[in-house]
Structure 1
Amino acid sequence: MTEDRVRRRSGRALLISGLLLANLNWILCKADTGGTKVGPIEKFPDYPDREVSAVWSRVRKLLPNDRELARPAAVEDGDAIPSEEDDELVLEGELREQMEDTLRGAIAEDPPRNVYGVSLHDVELATALSFKELISPANFEAGAESRDALFRWEGWIAKSHPSSRCREGAWKVMGFLEWVWPEDMKDSDLHPKFRLQLARNLTKLKQCGPEVQTKKGKYAFEHCTDYTCGLWETFHAMSVSPSNEEEVSGANMMSALRGFIDKFFSCSTCREHFLEVLAKEKTKLVETSKDFALWLWESHNVVNMRLAQEEEERGTGDPARPKHAFPHPVMCESCFRSVHPMRVSEGGIHAFLRDHYGFKKSKSEVSGQLESGKEEL
Structure 2
Amino acid sequence: MPKDMQQEVQSGADVVLDVRNLSVDFPVNKSFFRTGATKVVRAVQNVSFSVPRGGCYAIVGESGSGKSTLARAIVGLVKMTAGEVTLGGQQLSGLTPRERRQLRRRVQLVLQDPRASIDPRMRVYDVLREALVVHGIKGSKDDQRARIEQVIRQVGLSVAHLGRFANELSGGQRQRVAIARAIILEPEILVLDEPVSALDVSIQAQIINLLVELQERLGLTYVIITHDLALVSHFADSTGVMYLGRFVEQGPARQICDSPRHPYSESLLSVVAGEDPEVERNREVVLLEGNIPSPLDLPTGCAFHTRCPHARVVAAGIDPASRQEVAGHSVPRLCVEATPRAETGPAGCLCHYPLAGAQPDPTDN
Structure 1 length as normaliser, TM-score? 0.24
Ranked by relative contact order (alpha carbons within 8 Å, sequence separation 6 or more), the top structure is: 1
Decide which structure has greater helix share.
1
Structure 2 length as normaliser, TM-score? 0.24
Decide which structure has greater strand share.
2
Tell me which structure has the larger Cα radius of gyration: 1
